[in-house]
Structure 1
Amino acid sequence: MTKSRGWSLLALLAALTALAFAGSLTLGIVPVPLRSVLDAFGAFDGSREQLIIRTVRLPRAVIAVIVGSALAVAGCLMQAISRNALAGPELFGINYGAALTAVLASFWLGTSSLRLFAASSLLGAAFAGLLVLGLGAARPSLSPVKLVLAGSMLNLLFASLTQGILILNEQSLDTMRFWLAGSLTGRDMALLLQVLPYLLVGLLIALVLSHPLNVFKLGEEVARNLGQRIGAIRIAAIAAVVLLAGGAVAIAGPIGFVGLAVPHMARSLTGGDYRWVIPCAAALGALLLLSADIAARFVLPDREIPVGVVTAFFGAPFLIYLAGRKEKSL
Structure 2
Amino acid sequence: MLHTEEAARLENPSKTPLRTRPLAATLVLIGGLAALIVGLVTSISLGAADIRFLTVWQAVFHFNPDLTQHQIIQELRLPRALAGAMVGACFAVAGAIMQGITRNPLADSGLLGINAGAGFALAVCFALLPGLPFLYLIMYSFIGAAIGAGMVYGIGSLTKNGMTPVRLALSGAAVGALLVALSEGIALYFRIGQDLAFWYAGGVAGTKWLQLKIMFPWVAAALVGSLMLSRSITVLSLGEELAQGLGQRTGRVKLMAMVLVLVLAGAAVSAVGAVGFIGLVIPHIVRALVGVDYRWIIPCSAVMGGLLMVIADICARMIHPPYETPIGALIALIGVPFFLYLVRKERREL
With normalisation by structure 1, the TM-score equals 0.94
Match of 1:37 in 2: 56
Q: CA deviation at 1:213?
A: 1.4
Match of 2:323 in 1: 303
What is the percent sequence identity of the aligned residues? 36
Partner secondary structure for residue 297 of structure 1:
helix
Compared with structure 1, are the counterparts of its residues 44 and 205 closer, same or farther at alpha carbon in structure 2 (3 Å cutoff)? closer
d(CA) in 1 for partners of 2:175, 2:51? 43
Compared with structure 1, are the counterparts of its residues 110 and 44 closer, same or farther at alpha carbon in structure 2 (3 Å cutoff)? closer
Check the 8 A contact 2:79/2:209 in 1, yes or no.
Answer: yes
Q: Where do 1:220-235 residues align within 5 Å?
A: 220-235=240-255
Q: Where do 1:4-153 residues align within 5 Å?
A: 4-45=23-64, 46-137=66-157, 139=159, 141-153=162-174
1:74-127 deviation line (CA, Å, top 9, x unaligned)? 000111111110110000000010010111022112323212211110100111
Check the 8 A contact 1:181/1:309 in 2, yes or no.
Answer: yes
Aligned residue among 292, 296, 309 for 1:276 = 296
Does 2:189 match 1:168? yes
Q: Where do 1:252-267 residues align within 5 Å?
A: 252-267=272-287
Check the 8 A contact 1:96/1:155 in 2, yes or no.
Answer: yes
Q: Which shifted more, 123-132 or 14-23?
A: 123-132
d(CA) in 1 for partners of 2:157, 2:249? 16
Unaligned stretches of 5+ residues in structure 1: none
Aligned residue among 132, 156, 170 for 2:177 = 156
d(CA) in 2 for partners of 1:271, 1:31? 43
Q: CA deviation at 1:276?
A: 0.3
Check the 8 A contact 2:102/2:237 in 1, yes or no.
Answer: no
Q: Which shifted more, 3-12 or 85-94?
A: 3-12
Compared with structure 1, are the counterparts of its residues 218 and 3 closer, same or farther at alpha carbon in structure 2 (3 Å cutoff)? closer
CA RMSD of aligned residues (A): 1.7
d(CA) in 1 for partners of 2:266, 2:113? 11
Question: Aligned pairs, how many?
Answer: 329
Unaligned stretches of 5+ residues in structure 2: 1-19
Partner amino acid, structure 2, of 1:40: A
Check the 8 A contact 2:43/2:310 in 1, yes or no.
Answer: yes
Check the 8 A contact 2:107/2:169 in 1, yes or no.
Answer: yes
Partner amino acid, structure 1, of 2:40: F
